[in-house]
Chain A
Amino acid sequence: MVENNLLSLIIFAPLVGAVVNWIVGGRLKNETFSGLVACGAIAVSTIVAFMIAFGIGTPHTGALFADKPVLDQIWTWVNVGTFRADFALGMDRLSAIYACFVTFVGLLIHIFATGYMHGDKGFYRFFAYLNLFMFAMLTLVLADNYLLMFVGWEGVGLCSYLLIGYYIKRDEARTAAKKAFVMNRIGDWGVLMGMFLIFTLTGSLSFFDKNVDGVEVQSVFSYVIAHMSADPFTWGAIVAGGLTSVGVLLFIGATGKSAQIPLLTWLPDAMAGPTPVSALIHAATMVTAGVYLVVRSNAIYQFAPTAMWIIAVIGAATALFAATIAIAQNDIKKVLAYSTVSQLGFMFLAAGVGAFVVAIFHVMTHAFFKALLFLGSGSVIHGMHHEQDMRKMGNLRKYMPITFITMATGWLAICGIPIFAGFFSKDEILYKTFAADNYFPQRPFPGEEFLWVIATFTAILTAVYMTRMMIMTFWGKERFHDALPGEEHHEEHHDEHADANTADDDDEEHHHALPHDFKPHESPWAMTVPLIVLAVLSTIGGLVGVPYAMSSLFGAGDVNVFEHTLEPVIAEKDEHAGHESSASEKKEVKHFFGSETKTTAAEPAASEAHSPEVIAKERGLAALSTVLAVIGIAIGFALFYKTPLRKMPKILEEKWRLDEFYNGYIVDPITKLSTTGLWKGFDLGFIDGIVNGIGAAVAAFGNAVRHMQVGFVRSYAAVILLGALAVIGYFIYYGLKLIG
């Protein structure tokens, strides 16, 4: 067992930062101090995370290269009966990747936020929350068991709640905050039940085999691999209480946290929070926690084909659904929000077809380019004095060149233009969906072609809506002073805002009616530097995971570092052994999940991927998706370059009226039932009716019998006393009879 107590520093540094900012920062109200504390705390986390991940200056090999996780036992949290959960951290290859990109992207966003939040009265509060979020997020990815992971899982939900509702005076912010928390909670229900079932099936909640204070703890996954077998690929498996049920329950949690169908509507609303929050929490890190959960539990999912199939289908459906909405939104952050939902769908699609590594690869590249796009939009919003409506922008590339260029790299990356980071990960997803039979544990995978068509179509849509966003923002004519349809009412509303705000001694970001000589301006260095760094990563960050089919084009051999790093995290299954192409080369595969080694087949994907026809197929598909990306961009220019304000279908603009559906068919009926049915009807009407009725009857009875005023209380009590005496009398009589 490799231990390193520095691990806890990664999570506790941000916690200390949060506490210091809350207590000291709140008194000082000094932006430099708060900014330094917050960024410093994350910098410490980042440095330590990279040290341990890469093994720089540590006595052990870096977690990214080691066979065993680096552990850090802090204390035993709960230990009741056979149930135990440690407050303990563990960094294996998967959490190392997560820890590195979360801290690094987090650091950049913190720096960006010092510029973006400049002048905000709650500066210290904002950074305290942001640091607290980092604490929760890092706890989530570094936890060594499900229960502690759930602590982080709920913790990020809380911070998300606090940060979405950061502008507490805005109605939409407080509503969105509550909605986010509640929807996440619905998902959390699934995680909770999933944990119970895991514990029932395996007797453990630990991710890693370990020895704590002389007690051997077996991990969930090594137990599953050693003692359980795959569930049948049937609908019935979902309710059978086996691994498939676990898979589905955990995925319910993932749909909440990662905004998948049906729990997706909170994420776009969450854009009511400050833009750095949208970048950090609602694009790069927290929302990918669902993918982390699924990939972390891959040993379970490989035995639960039905659950995986559901994940793939929901992922693909969400990707398409969100993309269609993104194309019709006018708020720049809403476009990016739906785009995030759509990209998360891609990640789940990958995980669902069995390409777990690719899902994580896309998580990482997406973190780069989506954080970039969000921060870019933040820079635009900052430059536009908090105008978020793209209909009032246009031609910004003239005023904000750095923002334009950096955002353009993000745009090309998400569209899937080769070399840019998004290309490799997205193309891999499309390819592995197309060839899902090879990756899915229980082949054949039904409907793989259909899912591939959906995913490819969504990829084109992605290029179209992103191009639309870029055109509306950076090209065309300046529309800063144009009135929009329905604007007059809007303006009035703003005026009200302004009045109320001055009266309230306002401390929040709000819209100003733009002055007539208004010119957008480029943002300060604190904002542009993170943009540039992220732009570089969005451009070259994908090169760590170039698939063999492409690297061999340039004679580079197998350079898919990313896949090889994560391979050991993905549990091997015996089923692969029977596969034709790899049956001959059995070898010992070591994995994290057990000290024992199992005889399994060599990675079939790897060997298959290197056969000529497979390579040809993959290259062909890559070429196709490149062409489609270009077509998508071309469609975008054709449709929107001349008419950036083209009217979009109303149903898309209204997001398929999903919110209205939920409110009308779920929220309202429950509220109504609770008010009129349960509270007024049952409680006040029925139960209290009986109680009061008895009271009244007793009083009337007393009056009638005794012909005198008897107090309500007294007569009531008297009758009860009589009744009780009768019962006591019966017991005494009965008792005497027993003795006698």
Chain B
Amino acid sequence: MDFINENLLTILILLPVFGAVGVILHQMFWKQESQLKWLTFGLTLVNFLISLLLISGTKTAGTGFSFEKNVPWISAINTNYHVGVDGLSLWLVILTTFIMPIAVISTWHAVEKRPTAFYAFLLLLESAMIGVFVSLDLLVFYLFFEASLVPMFFLIGIWGGENRIYAAVKFFIFTALGSLLMLAAIIALYYVHASQTGLGTFDFVALTRSIELGHLAFTGPLAVTGTLMFWAFALAFSIKVPLFPFHTWLPDAHTEAPTAGSVILAAVLLKMGTYGLMRFNFTLFPDQSREWAWLFITLAIIGIIYGALVAMVQPDVKRLVAYSSVAHMGFVILGMFSFTEMGMQGALYQMLNHGVSTGALFLLVGFIYERRHTRQISDFGGLANVMPIYATVFVITSMSSVGLPFLNGFVGEFLIMIGMWKSTILQVTASANWNYIATMLAGTGVIFAAVYLLWMIQRVFFGKVTNEKNRSLKDLSWREIGLIAPLLFLMVFMGVYPRPFLDAAKESVNAIQKRVMHQAGGEVDHAAAVDNKTTEPRSHE
């Protein structure tokens, strides 16, 4: 047990890798394709159960990391395999391990070609995603961040729909472009730290400490470098989120991806962007984060409204859900950049909510696609008559996405909006309440969400059965009900009793918030820093 506890995160990362190898070996020796899904399902389920150990073991008081593991990797460049969880990453890791078994079973019958590779990629993807959330070394983080790209590229490119190559390439180019810039910034950070303190490092904890102690500050001649590095990180994460106007890869990727891919993409992959902003941008570049908050808030609001309006007119259900993701992730960005306790906790909560609700929506779209091999809204109509259980589940999930109180979406959106409302980040002058205006505009997204989802539901489920092909559709099977049931349970539970989630994340999120708002907080400290610079210039040797 001690061994497990000490190496818990490593086990979580490596188990899927070994699993992937196992899947391949299993296929090589036994050639039982039908057993692969069971094997994969079992592995992901075990990984999920192991990850639950994190909940009790993660310290929620204080701000440090739990389950830390720090072993030298390449000592020449001072990079370490350094992993750990805190309240911020805890739930994201569990969200990942939780969604994986569901994603695996969601493609029970749909994988016809190369199942071995399919399941191996899924497992590698899980490993990479967990790695992203727990790495505390920037270089290791970068490797996991990139590594998650590859399996998803192939999942879309091989098992996707008709237009899969275009979608996969677009997905790859957009995200790779961003993350290469991030790599540049990571390397630059190494050098800048070396120049300031004499020791180059990729270690996130060490960098944070240097910033806290004032050894590393992006002021004076380094201000431009700081801004450039901030943007290199921010761009990589914004594309991943995706923030308007970098969102156009998302509808294509979602639409073409197989159901499992869409579910994972929506539930976890997008969160890597918001997580990265919160973890790295806010902590490493607090000044720049504050300085550019207005731009992110503006883009987030545009995304909320734009995503909703475009979702409204989509003829394809999956594209509609994809665009709704753009709107929802806009809310997350909005909450984060409000730099208030409520907004940031709401943002974290909304990440989880979006994972659950949108994941469930993609799952549901997948169910109907398996039956009819179409996702065009116009091909459906009156489905509630033939598939009452499906219709009920779909309506509940949509309501959760719309943000109906007592379902999960509401708590997150409410906290985000009240956080933005109380935010001081946009206060340029005392008289203009831009924060009110921002919240009011973002709030219209709540109205539009109802419009696009209900309009789709109206056309797909209500009315008479207009298409003869839909008349004989089977309602959900027990497997499908079993798949969606845990998600439905979470929607209600997280809506009614959010405290365990919020309380666990509280300290870590607050620490980030305080760091952003207090460090060099406003004019006073800034002036002091400048002053410091002029009186006794820091020697770079």
Contacts and interface: CB of A to CB of B under 8 A. Distances in A.
Interface of A: 75-81, 83, 87, 147, 150-151, 154-155, 158, 161, 165, 168-171, 173-175, 177-178, 181-182, 185-186, 188-189, 192-193, 195-197, 199-200, 241, 500, 504, 670-671, 673-675, 678-679, 683-684, 687-688, 691, 695, 712-713, 716-717, 720-721, 724, 727-728, 730-732, 734-736, 738-739
B12 interface: no
Interface stretch (B205-213, B275-283, B443-451): B443-451
A688 B454 contact: no
Interface stretch (B83-91, B186-194, B261-269): B186-194
Given A678-B306, A739-B194, A196 B454 contact: no
Interface residues of B, number: 75
A189 B446 contact: yes
Contacts of A504: 385, 464-465
Contacts of A736: 191
A738 B184 contact: no
Given A75-B497, A196-B421, A732 B443 contact: no
Interface of B: 169-170, 172-174, 176-177, 180-181, 183-185, 187-188, 190-192, 194-195, 225, 232, 245, 248, 251, 306, 309-310, 312-314, 340-342, 345-346, 382, 384-385, 399, 404-406, 410-411, 414-415, 417-418, 421-422, 433, 436, 439-440, 443-444, 446-447, 450-451, 454-455, 458, 461-465, 496-499, 502, 506, 540
A636 to B, nearest CB: 39
Contact of B313 (A151, A200, A671): A671
22 contacts: A77-B496, A78-B499, A80-B342, A80-B502, A147-B414, A154-B404, A154-B405, A169-B462, A169-B464, A178-B458, A185-B450, A670-B309, A674-B310, A674-B313, A678-B309, A678-B310, A720-B176, A732-B191, A735-B194, A736-B191, A738-B191, A738-B192
Given A155-B405, A178-B458, A678-B310, A724 B181 contact: yes
B384 A168 contact: yes
A80 B415 contact: yes
- Specify the main secondary structure of chain A where it touches its partner: helix
Nearest to A683: B248
Contact of A712 (B169, B312, B465): B169
A212 to B, nearest CB: 14
Contacts of A691: 170, 173-174, 248
B187 A731 contact: yes
B446 A193 contact: no
Contact of B415 (A78, A151, A171, A678): A78
A485 to B, nearest CB: 28
A80 B540 contact: no
Contacts of A738: 191-192, 195, 540
A188 B345 CA distance: 23
Nearest to A711: B169
Given A151-B406, A732-B187, A674 B312 contact: yes
Nearest to B509: A80
Contacts of B310: 674, 678-679, 683
Contacts of A80: 341-342, 345-346, 415, 502, 506
A731 B184 contact: yes
B464 A193 contact: no
Nearest to B306: A678
A675 B245 CA distance: 17
B382 A169 contact: yes
Contacts of B455: 178
B516 to A, nearest CB: 15
A724 B511 CA distance: 33
A154 B444 CA distance: 16
Given A728-B187, A738-B540, A713 B169 contact: yes
A249 to B, nearest CB: 9
A196 B433 contact: no
B462 A168 contact: yes
Contact of B447 (A169, A189, A717, A727): A189
Contacts of B174: 691
B191 A739 contact: yes
A199 B342 CA distance: 13
Contact of A185 (B180, B194, B447): B447
A155 B194 CA distance: 58
Given A169-B464, A679-B310, A78 B498 contact: yes
A189 B458 contact: no
Nearest to A674: B309
Given A80-B346, A182-B451, A728-B187, 5 more contacts: A165-B462, A181-B454, A196-B422, A504-B465, A674-B310
A675 B313 contact: yes
A679 B173 contact: no
- The 7 closest A-B CB pairs, nearest first, are A735-B191, A724-B180, A81-B341, A174-B462, A731-B188, A151-B405, A738-B195
B248 A500 contact: no
Nearest to B384: A168
A716 B462 CA distance: 46
Contacts of B172: 717
Nearest to B421: A196
Contact of B188 (A151, A192, A720, A735): A735
A735 B185 contact: no
Contact of B418 (A199, A673, A716): A199
A721 B447 CA distance: 43
B177 A724 contact: yes
Contacts of A75: 497
Given A728-B187, A731-B185, A735-B192, A717 B454 contact: no
